Structure 1
Amino acid sequence: MFIGKVSGTVVATRKDPKLYGKKLLVVIPVDENLKEKKDYLVAVDTVSAGYKEYVLVVQGSSARMAEGMKDCPVDSAIIGIVDSFVIDGKEIK
């Protein structure tokens, strides 16, 4: 599991039927200082996340255990929206 920041959406006119109705978001992983890393990934949104929100992302078999993802061909899923962070005793919002 890792924390990332939603940076965009993916529109796919054709996709696996099990993904119909699922929102696909572009997520940039962040480090412990909330600095964006240079990678990005596409994750299925299971919690109605929005643009520029910090989110919790799971990958692999954990992604297929997220709400509504059973038997779906996914490798990354957004499972939570972060409200605040506490790192080394300091709260970051």
Structure 2
Amino acid sequence: MILGEVVGNVWATRKEDGLTGLKFLVVQPDASDQAKLVAVDRIGAGVGDKVMVTRGSSSSNVEDHHPLPIDAIIIGIVDAVEVERGEGNG
């Protein structure tokens, strides 16, 4: 999974039939070495929200017995992140 922030929207009036009605958002991953990505949103995220994104085959299998042609999907809107620092972690 990837943590990131929604930084924009994508509008596509023409797309594959299975994608009709889905919302697409641009997500900037928290990791500085990762490029922005487009993720499907079915949970109501918006610009400025911190989100969890999953990629790959698990993202395309969100519909039972009907895989969608997508590579990334938002699976959660993050309320808070807590990281404890232990020995050897900076």
TM category (shorter chain) comes to 0.7 to 0.9
**How far, CA to CA, are the matches of 1:66 and 1:54 in structure 2?**
21
Correspondence for 1:23:
23
What TM-score does the superposition give when structure 2 sets the normalisation length?
A: 0.84
Structure 1 residue runs of 5 or longer lacking an equivalent are none
Cα offset, 1:88, TM superposition: 1.3
Structure 2 residue runs of 5 or longer lacking an equivalent are 86-90
Q: 1:40 maps to which residue?
A: 36
Asked which structure has the greater CA Rg, the reply is 2
CA distance in 1, matches of 2:33, 2:47: 17
The alignment yields a C-alpha RMSD, in angstroms, of: 1.8
Greater than 6 Å deviation, 4+ residue runs: none
Aligned length: 84
Separation (CA, whole Å) in 1 of partners of 2:35 and 2:84: 25
SS in structure 2 opposite 1:27?
strand
Considering fraction of residues, name the structure with more strand: 1
TM-score (norm: length of structure 1): 0.81
Aligned-partner Cα distance in 2 for 1:86–1:67: 32
Matches within 5 A, 1:1-93: 1-31=1-31, 39-66=35-62, 70-88=66-84
